[in-house]
Amino acid sequence: MVEVAGSEANVASTPRTHRKTVRIIESRSGVRTAAISFLITAAVAVLTIVVWLSTRKTVEPPAVQRTLQEVMLDWRCDNGHTLTYPGKIGPRHCEKCGGEMWPVATWSCENHHSYKVAVRLEIGPDGRPGPKEFRLGRRDWVPAGTVLTCPRCGQPLIQRVRDPYAGLPRKRRK
């Protein structure tokens, strides 16, 4: 038999007594490695979020605003006719009697019922419409900053804001 160094024949001919027994011990380095990998990944994620939050620009989106012509208002004339039309600056003419109609807002007294108050609108310095004067019943017009009082008891009137969702159908709960 010819012996070639490093051949299989040489390994096969070596007696078993010369081989050393190798014991494989289960290591716990896998758990430690997984924990370290998780901590590094979590730290990178937190660092990425912090950098993103600190460098982004906080720009508020503009609020959706409707023009006065897009808002439906209740209009009332001195004869008590009430109609709903789009808003505008200045009076409208009543279709029933031809009198001047003004937009109305609801004000109420704590002791008595609510009142419809006529509102004279104007364009403010910021370009948006706002109240210029108020008129309760057939009284004189008063500036918008004036406190309106109840004609019966003299208590200050409180403006009641109309619910914008009042006319919409409500969702049914299951």
Domain membership of residue 118 as a residue range: 68-160
For residue 2, name the pLDDT band (cuts at 50, 70, 90): very low
pLDDT of residue 1: 45
The answer to the question of residue 22 being in a domain is no
62, part of any domain? no
In this prediction, residue 171 carries a pLDDT of 60
Within-domain flag for 137: yes
88 assigned to some structural domain: yes
- Assess if residue 3 is contained within a domain: no
Q: Which of these, 102, 73, 100, lies nearest to 85 by C-alpha position?
A: 73
The confidence score (pLDDT) of residue 103 equals 92
- In a domain, residue 126? The reply is yes
Is position 84 within any domain?
Answer: yes
Is the pLDDT reported for residue 34 higher than 60? yes
32 vs 157: which has the higher pLDDT: 157
Quote the pLDDT of residue 64. Answer: 73
- By percentage, how much of the chain surpasses pLDDT 70? 79
The residue that leads in pLDDT, 163 or 50, is: 50
pTM to 2 decimals?
0.54
pLDDT tens figures, 109-150? 888 788 889 999 888 888 888 889 999 888 889 998 888 888
Number of domains in the chain: 1
Q: What is the pLDDT of residues 93-102, one digit of tens each?
A: 999 898 999 9
Question: Per residue, what are the HEC states of the chain?
Answer: CCCCCCCHHHHHHCCHHHCCCCCCCCCCHHHHHHHHHHHHHHHHHHHHHHHHHHHCCCCCCCCCCCCHHHCEEEEEECCCCEEEEECCCCCEECCCCCCEEEEEEEEECCCCCEEEEEEEEEECCCCCEEEEEEEECCCCCEECCCCCECCCCCCECEEECCCCCCCCCCCCCC
Closest CA to 139 of 88, 96, 171, 102: 102
Average confidence (pLDDT) over 163-167: 57
Amino acid at 126: D
What mean pLDDT, rounded, does the chain reach?
Answer: 80
Question: What is the pLDDT, as a whole number, of residue 168?
Answer: 55
- Residue 54 resides in a domain: no
